[in-house]
């Protein structure tokens, strides 16, 4: 359970990153959110066997990581942690789809492997883009953007409270884990029974806290609807950022730059 | 200004599980008064505060804030008058940024945006936390959290401040800053605390609770010098007064 400490600190690190001050961090959260969503839609919309046409899209995460001065190793590690999900989604493709599509020298590559590769690439691109969004935009900023983009209030409020209390909750859990560890000398892991008890206790504490929070909200006039102050300003720079990237994504979707470049080089050699 | 009066008459409260928490509390606090509420653990301090804030309704007796008698219908009005500062700032501060949290109360009282902005900024200035306004609360120190939770309450411009253990978990410097800050407020204040030295500094009057009753009600100086009374109620003479006596004895 020692990893609990580091998981908690990792969460804090991602959050800390979002409060840096770079060109990317300063862009209006709405613009970043829309660009990220646009990016994800474009990536997902490619046909099943797309591999080479996806590669050029890596320019976006790479550029963002560079401009926002994000630690690459840290982000890759995060990607790796969630990667099993993507692998499981794609892992059966090579067995089901055995039609040979590409001959690469002595190797025959089946459609299944290509679509598997495509799934992995898409995973890296989309989850990477989402991670970058979180690392470059403060969470309250994202909530504010969602709110302004007319996402239902209920969801936004859920996210806001989630962000506010996930740190309080994890810290409470962390204290419990530490207290247990200090008095359980040899046994490294709690047994199932103990674990269930701890989770139950944490749940009860959370319930009590929720009651106190509700009280605090009531005593400040909460009547079922959360109102927030609007404090975002959409500038020309944000508009430029938004339109530039959306245009680029559209171009990459309908023309394959690597193929265009390849053709160009090919033609040059032919002449 | 008669409307800042808090008047409790023969208040009883029994929790649904049968615990009799308050049995016959009566007192009257007038405008501008600072009153400390002290007593052993389980003496009924928190229950009493919850009565005053309208969270729990007395099973018998009445609570009156100004001209309004506390009941289910008037809770909303009462809450506008009372600023309740919770013991744990993590309960009190629930919005994702400091500014949004301080603006929450005024916003929900239906003030105009301009007024909301003004009062939030003013409240943050008052507690010296304006520089923190865009921070998320989990990045604040305990002292800062406490200050922000006070700001989020005074932004609503309450008549009466009710505080539950305001100095708990604070380091000596933050505690000192808090005391200095509270001294600058001219609201009526009700402070429940185990920190008798702080009560001695902030409140002219003190009510000692014991087993759901008022064990004593008088000037703080007088009550805190009565060692026998304090001991009977699980309390101890504040250090500052003990030290005084030592000096005299020498």
Give the pLDDT confidence of B119-161 residue by residue, as tens digits.
Answer: 999 999 999 999 999 899 988 999 999 999 999 999 999 989 9
A interface residues, B as partner, C-beta within 8 Å: 15, 138-140, 143, 160-161, 163-165, 167-168, 209, 212-213, 215-223, 227-229, 231
The size of chain B, in residues, is 250
Please check whether residues A80 and A159 belong to one and the same domain: no
Domain assignment of residue A163, given as a range: 152-224
Highest mean pLDDT among A47-56, A249-258, B121-130 belongs to B121-130
Looking at residue B246, its pLDDT comes to: 59
Please check whether residues A44 and A159 belong to one and the same domain: no
Looking at residue B3, its pLDDT comes to: 64
Q: What is the pTM of this model?
A: 0.80
Task: Find out whether A131 and A79 touch, Cβ atoms under 8 Å.
Answer: yes
Please check whether residues A22 and A134 belong to one and the same domain: yes
Please check whether residues A204 and A88 belong to one and the same domain: no
Please check whether residues A110 and A163 belong to one and the same domain: no
Residue B250 pLDDT more than 60? Answer: no
Please check whether residues A113 and A141 belong to one and the same domain: yes
Please check whether residues A30 and A134 belong to one and the same domain: yes
Please check whether residues A116 and A175 belong to one and the same domain: no
Strands B160-164 and B188-192: parallel
- Cα separation, A40 vs B248, whole angstroms: 78
Span B61-88, pLDDT tens digits: 999 998 889 998 888 888 888 999 999 9
- Please indicate, yes or no, if residue A270 is contained in any of the structural domains: no
Please check whether residues A159 and A199 belong to one and the same domain: yes
Span A13-46, pLDDT tens digits: 888 899 888 999 999 999 999 999 999 999 999 8
Chain A residues close to B107, C-beta within 8 Å:
221, 227-229
Cα distances from A117 to residues A143, A161, A241, in angstroms, run 34, 38, 30
What is chain B's mean pLDDT, rounded? 90
Residue B1 pLDDT more than 60? Answer: no
Please check whether residues A115 and A220 belong to one and the same domain: no
Please check whether residues A9 and A46 belong to one and the same domain: yes
Looking at residue A1, its pLDDT comes to: 43
**How many CA atoms within 13 Å lie on the side-chain side of B158?**
29
Closest CA of chain A from B89, distance in Å: 10
Chain B residues close to A174, C-beta within 8 Å:
none
- Overall domain count for chain A: 2
Closest CA of chain A from B99, distance in Å: 9
DSSP state of A89: H
- Please indicate, yes or no, if residue A261 is contained in any of the structural domains: no
Looking at residue B228, its pLDDT comes to: 92
């Amino acid at each position: 359970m020692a990893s609990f400490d580091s998981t908690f600190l990792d969460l804090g690190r991602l959050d800390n990153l979002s409060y840096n001050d770079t060109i990317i961090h300063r862009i209006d959260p709405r613009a970043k959110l829309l660009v990220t969503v646009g990016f994800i839609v474009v990536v997902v919309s490619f046909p099943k066997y797309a591999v080479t046409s996806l590669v050029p899209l890596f320019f976006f995460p790479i550029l963002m990581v560079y401009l926002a001065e994000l630690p690459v190793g840290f982000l890759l590690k995060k990607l790796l942690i969630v990667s099993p999900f993507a692998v499981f989604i794609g892992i059966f493709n090579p067995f089901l789809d055995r039609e040979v599509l590409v001959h690469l020298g002595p190797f025959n590559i089946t459609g299944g492997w290509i679509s598997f590769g495509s799934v992995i690439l898409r995973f890296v691109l989309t989850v990477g883009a989402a991670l970058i969004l979180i690392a470059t935009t403060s969470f309250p900023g994202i909530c504010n953007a969602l709110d302004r983009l007319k996402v239902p209030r209920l969801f936004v409020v859920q996210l806001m409270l989630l962000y506010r209390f996930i740190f309080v909750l994890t810290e409470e859990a962390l204290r419990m884990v530490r207290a247990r560890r200090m008095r359980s000398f040899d046994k490294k892991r709690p047994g199932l029974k103990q674990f269930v008890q701890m989770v139950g206790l944490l749940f009860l504490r959370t319930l009590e806290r929720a009651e106190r929070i509700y009280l605090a909200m009531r005593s400040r006039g909460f009547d079922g609807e959360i109102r927030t102050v609007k404090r975002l300003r959409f500038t020309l720079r944000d508009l430029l950022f938004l339109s530039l990237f959306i245009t680029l994504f559209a171009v990459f979707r309908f023309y394959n730059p690597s193929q265009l470049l390849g053709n160009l080089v090919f033609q040059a050699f032919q002449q | 200004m008669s409307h800042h009066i808090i008047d409790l008459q023969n208040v009883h409260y029994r929790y649904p599980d049968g615990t009799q928490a308050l049995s016959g509390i009566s007192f009257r606090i007038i405008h501008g008064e600072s009153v400390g509420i002290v007593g052993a653990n389980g003496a009924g301090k928190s229950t009493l505060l919850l009565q005053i804030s309208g969270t729990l309704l007395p099973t018998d007796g009445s609570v009156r804030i100004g001209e309004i008698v506390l009941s289910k219908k008037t809770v909303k009005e009462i809450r506008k008058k009372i600023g309740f500062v919770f013991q744990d700032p993590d309960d009190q501060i629930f919005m994702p940024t400091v500014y949004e949290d301080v603006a929450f109360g005024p916003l929900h009282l239906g003030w105009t945006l301009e007024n909301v902005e003004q009062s939030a900024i003013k409240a943050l200035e008052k507690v010296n936390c304006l520089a923190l306004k865009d921070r998320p609360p989990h990045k604040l120190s305990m002292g800062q959290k406490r200050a922000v939770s006070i700001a989020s309450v005074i932004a609503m411009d309450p008549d009466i401040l009710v505080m539950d253990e305001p100095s708990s978990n604070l380091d000596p410097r933050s505690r000192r800053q808090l005391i200095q800050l509270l001294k600058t407020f001219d609201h009526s204040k009700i402070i429940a605390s185990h920190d008798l030295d702080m009560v001695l500094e902030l409140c002219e009057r003190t009510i000692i609770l014991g087993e759901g009753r008022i064990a004593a009600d008088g000037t703080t100086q007088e009550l805190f010098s009565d060692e026998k009374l304090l001991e009977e109620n699980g309390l101890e003479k504040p250090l500052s007064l003990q030290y005084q006596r030592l000096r005299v004895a020498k």
